[in-house]
Chain A
Amino acid sequence: MKISNFIKFQLKKWAPLFIVLAIYCFVFGVIFNSLLFIRGRSFIPSSALFPTMIIPSFVIPFFVFKEQFNKNMADTVNAFPANKYQLNRIKILIGLIFIASLSFFLHICCILNSPGDYSLNYFLGFLFSTLSLCVLYLLNCTLTSLGNTFINSCLYVSSGCALLFGFIPTLFVIFNWEADLGLISTFGGVVGTYFILLQVEAGSLMMATGYIVLFIFVYLIQIGVGALAFFAKQPSGEYYGVPGARNKYHKAIIYSAIGLSHIFIGAFLGRLSVSLSSLASQLNLTIYIVAFIYSYILIVIFDKKFKISKKDWIILGSIELGGLLFRIILSLIY
């Protein structure tokens, strides 16, 4: 395999995507923020660029693995004399380099656009935001690689992110009633990263040590799961473009996300009932019915068929029942 030719070909193919993303980031990251920030501050901080630059980290993985979403591509890609990891790795790296370069050039643009006092904290912020974007991109690559269709990959990404970024807020809702809900929700990875980025730029990490430890814990898991992207191999040809999971364990991500959302709902309602007991009891049944319908729809979209399997019904029923049981236990405790 001629790797340099393959890279050239991929760059040629991806050029329109990269141009669109670069223009989007430049417009919303640099120009838009220039108008907003320049009046009150001497420069555009990384934390202002970061929310805009999250989009490429979610979009590019779908282009890296887009071949998996097309049935006909299996015959072409899987027959190529390249090992099952090589092509994916090259494409992942191209995306990674693009994201890091985009972050670098946008920061340069910011510096050129707003010649203020750039302290060490600014560059630390740049490094941290670039690293976080790369980690987020790799995490999304790992999750996207699990899907055989665009929709399946979307569900894996949303479920995976919900799981990873939602379990600590859920733990807070269950165990720490005193904590501020707004603050808790920031410890979910992307939002948490933004929060830490603000602290880095301010030159002090003002949060409680416990929060930092939790953030580092989530961040390390992100890095670990993201690193798995480099071990994403091309699936056997029959799975390309076919709805459903190619590995029975992959679907556990969807079930776990549903389960976590039920635990969150249970804990949240439990918490609500402490302060607003009458409203919470009215909401209980409605929310559980809605949650069950939403879980069913999720599985229907995933498998692309209305008639879901007996196993799915049993798992969904168990999750629903577990959530309800959890809610009852919590209400007994509090």
Chain B
Amino acid sequence: MIEIKNVSKVFGSRVAVDNLSLNIESGIYGLVGQNGAGKSTLFRIIAGVYDIQEGTVEIDLHTSTTTEAKKLVFFLPDDPFVDRNDNIKDIYDYYSCFYEFDEERFVSLIDKFSLPKNVAISKFSKGMKRQTFVCLALSIKVKYLLLDEAFDGLDPITLEVIKDELLKAKEEGKVIVISSHNISSLEKLVDTFVMITKGKIAQNDTSETLGTNYVKFQAMFKYEVTEEALRNVGLDVVSFKKYGSIFNIVVMDEENIEEKINKVAPTTLLERIPIDAEEIVKLNMMVARKVYGDEDK
């Protein structure tokens, strides 16, 4: 288990991670949050790239900066360094100095994506470079995989293949933490969503509980209503949008919502509609901004 306890990291006057605590036990975790929320910093703290200023990070009871802990983790940064002339074999040789590899798997993955083995990686497209490093990450025999913006620049077909491989890795007992801006790409893959805002955990949901605190309505009113009017009847409105005469309203779940809405104005249409993962995460971000403020953005 990765046990993060009250970790803080400050760069100059900017607090990147603020007294954050989190346990990463099993399955696939999706780390989501706005730009600059502290996702990459958190990854780097877990991987031992950054020294910790406050708090502790333990990986299977080893402090994250020790060699024993690092043996258990592989961190794939959003922009991994590669020397100008290095090809796939060179990076394999380099990483195999430090990690145990499943060579067969690496070769089969490289072949699956038809990546050229003798061409310098610096000449690859962004997506190809990403594929190469994801193949590398999936072939390294470690318990924990930290993938920062792992799906950035991947086409939908490659993305599906990689998601299948990640699910296979999960079945093998690996614990995977992925951060991505593309929230829809994490759908049907991630077991637990962890939302970070301003270096703090804003929400920690399993895929079953994700979004259960929100209710989304599609409504038509007999006359014009405002967000303010809905708030006045005691509803905690998270999102209020109007498309023609149809209103899409998201409120925090509570009792008698329909009754309260009808109090504002009689409706000709009022039905609950499902919310997808991407929208839930966006809503979470909006709520987090309200709670933690928005002065940085």
Contacts and interface: CB of A to CB of B under 8 A. Distances in A.
Interface string A230-270: 00000011100000000000000000000000000000000
Contact of A80 (B70, B79, B81): B70
A153 B14 CA distance: 26
A60 interface: no
A317 to B, nearest CB: 25
Given A72-B80, A237-B44, A82 B98 contact: yes
Majority SS of interface residues in chain B? Answer: loop
Interface string B1-19: 0000000000100000000
Interface in A57-114: 70, 72-76, 78-84
Interface stretch (A5-13, A162-170, A189-197): A5-13
B75 interface: yes
B30 interface: no
Contacts of A237: 44, 49-50
B96 interface: yes
Q: Which of A73, A74, A237 has the most CB of B within 10 A?
A: A237
A125 B95 CA distance: 43
Nearest to B40: A75
A75 B76 CA distance: 8
Contacts of A75: 44, 47, 49, 75, 77, 80-81
A1 B97 contact: yes
A196 B274 CA distance: 85
Best-buried of A1, A2, A74, A81 by chain B (most CB within 10 Å): A81
Residue in B77, B94, B97, B99 with the greatest tally of chain A CB atoms within 10 Å: B97
Nearest to B41: A238
Contacts of B68: 81
Interface in B50-73: 50-51, 65, 67-68, 70-71, 73
Contact of B75 (A9, A13, A79): A79
A81 B74 CA distance: 9
A87 to B, nearest CB: 9
Interface of B: 11, 44, 47-51, 65, 67-68, 70-71, 73-75, 77, 79-81, 83, 93-94, 96-99
Given A1-B97, A75-B81, 9 more contacts: A9-B97, A76-B80, A78-B47, A79-B47, A80-B70, A82-B98, A83-B67, A236-B49, A236-B50
6 contacts: A2-B97, A5-B96, A9-B97, A75-B47, A78-B49, A79-B74
